[in-house]
Structure 1
Amino acid sequence: MPLFISSLNSGSNANCYYVGNAQEAVLIDAGLSCRQTEQRMKRLGLSMQLVKGVFISHEHSDHISGLEQLAWKHQLPVYITAGTLKHSRLPQQSFPIHHWPADNTIHIGALTVTAFPKEHDAADPHSFLVRDAETCVGIFTDIGVACEQVIHHFSQCHAAFLEANYDEDLLENGRYPYFLKQRIRGGRGHLSNQQALALFRAHKSPFMSHVVMSHLSQSNNSPQLVAELFAPHLSNTKLIIAPRFAETAVQVVG
């Protein structure tokens, strides 16, 4: 059974990713408004009725700003760690809240969602693998470094949303203040284009069919730079660049 994936939005303005099969789906993060989420899914031919839960990676506003209205309107279960919930200041009475079990694995129909910790400057940041019986999709954004957890999970993926936040030269020579540059590149911020490529080249599986380049900086990166950097190394993997203000086409994985 294939999985269907799309980036509904990706960037410091808002993040939301769709992964599902023909019967059920999940959203990873909810940084878009409820209305924008609904409109973009409708344009893609994706049904909100299939969405059975929202998984929150961390409490930064570009990942949760649309969550309250979306989860309340559609009464979606929200899967979130206790640390992230505490620092998010989200209301806990408007929609169902679920904390992660000890093994960090949630079963939703034929889908299995596994959370794993990552390096990012948030209270309790996690990334996710979404699987069915045959196919695995990973979400690897807001990652300061490709740690052992990231490498282990990335190597299992048939498709991945992979952060390529900044070009090192553009960041170094750009207008950001020094403290912000250090936050971005300091090991608990974001992956650079070059770090993302190193992870991809060294640890992608031979069966990875899609890589969706995600969370590109508006000031310190460009889709052209990412595409040119990755092009010689793709082999049979399809490259998609996730835009900051629009959805990607639905990709069929598996």
Structure 2
Amino acid sequence: MSLFITSLNSGSNGNCYYIGNDTEAVLVDAGISCRETEKRMLRLGLSMHLVKAIFVSHEHIDHIRGITVLAKKYQLPVYITAGTLSHGGLALSEHLVMSFTAYTPVQIGGLSVTAFPKLHDAAEPHSFIVANDVVKIGVFTDIGAPCEHVIRHFQQCHAAFLEANYDETMLDQGRYPYYLKNRIRGGKGHLSNKQALEIFTLHRPAFMSHLLLSHLSQDNNNPTLVQELFAPHANGTEIIVASRYAETPVYKIIA
């Protein structure tokens, strides 16, 4: 059995990740508009009617911007914690609001979605593993530090969306004010290229076929820099840098 994955957008301007099989799919976050989500899926040959649920990692606007319209238009259940819903201010119909609990799988047809906590400056931040009977896909973005939860789940993945948000030198020498630099690198902000590479090189399972490097900073990172940093360590894993301007191709992940 296989799963199909794509990043519809990845960055501080919006994050949305698609994971599905032949009959159903889920979105992890919906941080771009409903119209833009539809356009990008159409270009990829994907149908919104296969999407059966949205799972929300946390309440920051680049992860929730499109949720209200998408959920209403397609009557999609939104799996979200009470704290994230409250802090995000989402105006969702009550019948579309579904809760989840860390480490308790949610079954969406043939897909199993399991949340686990992460370090980020949000109310109740979570990352996700989406799986069928054999293939596991991880979504690891907006992570302040590579905690035990992240490492243990990364070691299980056939493919993963992994944050590589900033280059340490670019951040240090860049135009951001000191407080914002400290927020980003302070343990509850974002993963640096170096931290992401360490996760990959130290904990990549031999069967990982695809790594989508995600949530790159517009000001403090460079896609070419990231690609060149990871390429020598690929060891058979296809390395893709997810764009903040466009969708990636659809990748078929098999065990």
**TM-score range relative to shorter protein:** over 0.9
| Cα gap change, 1:196 to 1:102, in 2 (>3 Å) | closer
Counterpart of 1:90? Answer: 90
Counterpart of 1:191? Answer: 191
- What per-residue deviation string (whole Å, max 9, x for no partner) do you get for residues 117-171 of structure 1? 0000000000000000110000000000000000010000000000000000000
CA distance in 1, matches of 2:176, 2:253: 38
Q: Helix, strand or coil for the counterpart of 1:201?
A: helix
Counterpart of 1:204? Answer: 204
* Correspondence 1:16-165 to 2 at 5 A: 16-93=16-93, 96-101=96-101, 103-165=103-165
Bigger drift between 187-196 and 84-93 goes to: 84-93
Contact 1:83 / 1:123 at 8 angstroms: preserved in 2?
yes
Unaligned runs of 5+ in 2: none
Q: Helix, strand or coil for the counterpart of 2:40?
A: helix
| Cα gap change, 1:94 to 1:33, in 2 (>3 Å) | farther
CA distance in 1, matches of 2:121, 2:13: 17
* Correspondence 1:239-250 to 2 at 5 A: 239-250=239-250
| Cα gap change, 1:146 to 1:27, in 2 (>3 Å) | same
Q: Helix, strand or coil for the counterpart of 2:32?
A: coil
- Consecutive aligned runs of 4 or more in structure 1 exceeding 6 Å deviation: none
CA distance in 2, matches of 1:229, 1:103: 33
Bigger drift between 81-90 and 5-14 goes to: 81-90
Counterpart of 2:224? Answer: 224
Number of equivalences: 254
| Cα gap change, 1:234 to 1:102, in 2 (>3 Å) | closer
CA distance in 2, matches of 1:184, 1:86: 24
CA distance in 1, matches of 2:221, 2:158: 26
RMSD: 1.0
Q: Helix, strand or coil for the counterpart of 1:6?
A: strand
TM-score (ref. length: structure 2): 0.98
Contact 2:162 / 2:211 at 8 angstroms: preserved in 1?
yes
| Cα gap change, 1:157 to 1:103, in 2 (>3 Å) | closer
CA distance in 2, matches of 1:42, 1:108: 22
CA distance in 2, matches of 1:20, 1:42: 15
The residue identity in structure 2 corresponding to 1:88 is G
Contact 1:76 / 1:95 at 8 angstroms: preserved in 2?
no
Q: Helix, strand or coil for the counterpart of 1:11?
A: coil
TM-score (ref. length: structure 1): 0.98
Alpha-carbon offset, residue 86 of structure 1: 1.1
Alpha-carbon offset, residue 91 of structure 1: 1.6
The residue identity in structure 1 corresponding to 2:245 is F
Aligned residues with identical type, % of pairs: 63
Q: Helix, strand or coil for the counterpart of 1:224?
A: helix
The residue identity in structure 2 corresponding to 1:27 is L
Contact 2:129 / 2:138 at 8 angstroms: preserved in 1?
yes
Q: Helix, strand or coil for the counterpart of 1:12?
A: coil
The residue identity in structure 2 corresponding to 1:244 is R
Bigger drift between 82-91 and 130-139 goes to: 82-91
CA distance in 1, matches of 2:141, 2:77: 22
CA distance in 2, matches of 1:21, 1:148: 29
Alpha-carbon offset, residue 93 of structure 1: 2.0
